[in-house]
């Protein structure tokens, strides 16, 4: 389908979805920006390695009727974490399978559709503040179809020790389904929480998830954000995370990308106050003909902030992956301490990876480094293991798991790490035995 298809989908949605004037204006701005840009092509530098033509293969549109069948119930039982959660199927909120008990004082979690009715003033100030519709075509499209998702707010000094989970299930209905979730996090001064976004697939229906998450961290606030993407083999997934950090705040993003025919994860992080710390970690594992893209953009706009970034890729068969990471250190951002690493493991002759770490330094009193590595399993290590009686296939698995485990072990012990290990075990047989 061409861009005109999505324009008509957005127009039909806006005609039937009632909204206050400010929200309708945001939706219309998104549609206007999308019409002006159209779908990106390989001629667009930022989309050069992403086969966006795949998005034209089906007439995706929002689901109208999303019953929660036994397949959904089983999936929720398998994928849910202990604690509060919101469940969505093909973009629609499923209250019967969601859990809103156990939230500590000062922590509020609600579906976005409810928040639009109850928290209009907050959302009017927050929505689109960091992920502006003009960012790129798919951010624009998400804004044009903005209706559902989640709002997580933390009052000053609120503490949520149990992870909060958002579970997005892509099932597909009678036709190809487009889901456009929007997640908004507003963390007050001195607050702390863990948020887990899980994206999983059900069945073989054609699905396209176009997700946007916006995070606002107040002074001295702390957020650990985990994204576990394991949708079906035919799914398409585009996700953008946009964060702004206040003074002395701490933000961690851990992105695990295992599923989808095409999956692209973007992280756009910016420091708005001195003394901030940011960690961006990512692991993508592909096989078959999967295409997994990763793009990070870290903006050191103020002095005395530090960032650490590590992305790893494991690719087999004819899978292809990309990592494009940019760190910008602005002229006034003295005493910046930033490092960025991209490491990639190719398990077959047909696998490919494009890695492009990038530093743009405008200040002079900084400590910055970046690097990239692409390679295959170490022959000496394989020989060592085989000389001790370990079969070749198992030796290769052990080394692959060891390569991936660095990022898994960066997740604190507990239910989130256990879920990451389980998802990775499905991708790399035997993983759970070594990582447990």
Q: What is d(CA 240, CA 250) in angstroms, rounded to the nearest whole number?
A: 19
Closest residue by Cα to residue 107 from 185, 179, 45, 173: 185
Contacts of 62 (CB under 8 A, 6+ apart): 9, 13, 91, 145, 177, 178, 179, 180
Closest residue by Cα to residue 242 from 214, 273, 281: 214
Contacts of 134 (CB under 8 A, 6+ apart): 33, 140
Under 8 Å between Cβ of 387 and 359 = no
What is the structure's pLDDT at 426?
85
What is the structure's pLDDT at 48?
86
Task: Read off the DSSP letter of residue 289.
Answer: T
Parts of the chain with a pLDDT under 70: 1, 66-67, 173-174, 429-436
**3-class DSSP state of 415:** helix
- What dihedral do alpha carbons 363, 267, 61, 68 form, nearest 10°? -160
Pairing of strands 192-201, 222-230: parallel
* Structure-block tokens of residue 216: 């606002």
What is the structure's pLDDT at 4?
92
Under 8 Å between Cβ of 191 and 106 = yes
Q: What is d(CA 241, CA 157) in angstroms, rounded to the nearest whole number?
A: 24
Q: What is d(CA 221, CA 214) in angstroms, rounded to the nearest whole number?
A: 15
- What dihedral do alpha carbons 291, 209, 299, 161 form, nearest 10°? -110
pTM of the model: 0.94
Contacts of 385 (CB under 8 A, 6+ apart): 395, 398, 399
What is the structure's pLDDT at 1?
59
Between helices 137-144 and 3-16, what is the axis angle to 10°?
A: 20
For residue 331, the cross-strand partners are: none
**3-class DSSP state of 172:** coil
What is the structure's pLDDT at 88?
96
Under 8 Å between Cβ of 121 and 23 = no
What is the structure's pLDDT at 393?
84
- What dihedral do alpha carbons 19, 21, 24, 28 form, nearest 10°? 170
* Structure-block tokens of residue 244: 């702004």
Q: What is the DSSP string of 29-62?
A: HHHHHHHHH-S--TTSGGGTTS-GGGGGSS--B-
Q: What is d(CA 331, CA 106) in angstroms, rounded to the nearest whole number?
A: 38
Specify burial of residue 115 (Cβ count, 10 A radius: 0-12, 13-18, 19+).
buried
């Amino acid at each position: 389908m061409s861009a005109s298809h999505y324009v008509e989908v957005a127009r039909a949605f806006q005609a039937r979805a009632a909204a206050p004037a400010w929200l309708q204006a945001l939706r219309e701005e998104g549609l206007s920006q999308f019409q002006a840009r159209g779908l990106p092509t390989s001629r667009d530098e930022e989309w050069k390695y992403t086969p966006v033509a795949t998005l034209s293969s089906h007439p995706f549109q929002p689901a109208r009727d999303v019953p929660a069948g036994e397949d959904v119930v089983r999936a929720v039982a398998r994928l849910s974490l202990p604690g509060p959660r919101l469940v969505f199927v093909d973009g629609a909120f499923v209250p019967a399978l969601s859990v809103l008990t156990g939230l500590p004082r000062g922590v509020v979690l609600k579906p976005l559709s409810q928040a639009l009715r109850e928290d209009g003033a907050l959302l009017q100030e927050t929505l689109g503040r960091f992920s502006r519709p003009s960012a790129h075509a798919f951010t624009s499209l998400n804004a044009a179809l903005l209706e559902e998702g989640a709002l997580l707010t933390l009052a000053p000094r609120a503490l949520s020790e149990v992870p909060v989970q958002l579970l997005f299930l892509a099932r597909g209905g009678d036709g190809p389904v487009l889901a456009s979730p929007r997640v908004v996090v507003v963390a007050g001064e001195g607050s702390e929480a863990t948020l887990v976004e899980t994206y999983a697939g059900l069945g073989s229906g054609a699905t396209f998830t176009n997700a946007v998450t916006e995070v606002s961290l107040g002074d001295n606030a702390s957020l650990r954000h985990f994204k576990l993407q394991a949708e079906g083999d035919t799914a398409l997934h585009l996700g953008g995370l946009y964060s702004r950090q206040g003074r002395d705040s701490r933000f961690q993003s851990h992105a695990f990308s295992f599923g989808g025919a095409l999956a692209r994860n973007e992280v756009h992080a910016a420091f708005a106050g001195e003394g901030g710390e940011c960690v961006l970690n990512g692991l993508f594992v592909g096989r078959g003909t999967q295409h997994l893209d990763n793009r990070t953009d870290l903006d050191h706009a103020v002095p005395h902030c530090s960032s650490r970034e590590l992305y790893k890729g494991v690719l087999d068969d004819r899978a292809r992956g990309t990592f494009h990471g940019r760190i910008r250190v602005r002229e006034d951002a003295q005493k910046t301490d930033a490092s960025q690493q991209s490491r990639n493991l190719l398990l077959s002759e047909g696998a490919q990876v494009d890695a492009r770490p990038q530093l743009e330094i405008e200040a002079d009193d900084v400590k910055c480094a970046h690097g990239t590595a692409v390679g295959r399993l170490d022959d000496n290590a394989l020989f060592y293991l085989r000389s001790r009686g370990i079969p070749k296939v198992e030796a290769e698995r052990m080394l692959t798991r060891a390569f991936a485990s660095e990022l898994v072990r960066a997740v604190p012990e507990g239910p989130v790490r256990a879920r990451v290990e389980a998802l990775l075990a499905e991708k790399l047989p035997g993983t759970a035995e070594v990582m447990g």
